[in-house]
């Protein structure tokens, strides 16, 4: 990964002199996963109705944080968690997508929209109104 250059391609550190194994290990650790991790981090009971921010916040924060590139981004997502969860609940997503958010799979790559339950949910996720609300939550955090 580091090649003959003294600057690593996939990490922010200068390659140490020698064979560059330390840089390669850091680069591997920072490289995004090529396949999304769809394993739920939290239990979501399919028959349970999702009606509160406290139900959705942990999983949603887990999922969104898996895309963060810095600890500061993760902290901002965590701080905005209640607002983000409220935005998702108020938006009108289907029960299937709400359960997906509750599960909090640490995707880490790809796009969340690819895994939403319905086409309506996918349109909602990408709508200007919804993305504006989510951005507002993060700006206010």
Tens-digit pLDDT profile for residues 6-53: 333 333 333 344 444 444 444 444 445 578 999 999 988 888 999 999
Q: Where are the domains of the chain?
A: 1-31, 53-140
Q: How far apart are CA 40 and CA 101, in angstroms?
A: 9
SS3 14: strand
pTM of the model: 0.74
Q: How many CB atoms lie within 10 A of CB 23?
A: 24
Task: Dump pLDDT digits (tens) for 106-132.
Answer: 998 889 999 999 999 999 999 999 999
**Interatomic CA distance for residues 130 and 88, integer angstroms:** 8
């Amino acid at each position: 990964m580091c090649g003959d250059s003294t600057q690593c391609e996939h990490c922010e550190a200068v390659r140490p002199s020698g064979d560059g194994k330390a840089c390669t290990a850091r680069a591997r650790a920072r490289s995004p996963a090529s396949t999304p991790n769809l394993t739920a981090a939290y239990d979501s009971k399919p028959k349970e109705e999702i009606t509160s921010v406290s139900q959705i916040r942990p999983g949603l924060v887990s999922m969104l944080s898996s895309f963060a590139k810095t600890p500061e981004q993760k902290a901002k997502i965590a701080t905005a968690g209640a607002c983000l969860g409220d935005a998702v609940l108020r938006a009108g997503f289907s029960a299937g997508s709400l359960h997906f958010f509750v599960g909090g799979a640490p995707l880490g790559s790809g796009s969340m929209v690819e895994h939403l339950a319905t086409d309506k949910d996918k349109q909602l996720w990408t709508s200007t109104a919804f993305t504006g609300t989510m951005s507002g939550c993060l700006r206010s955090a």
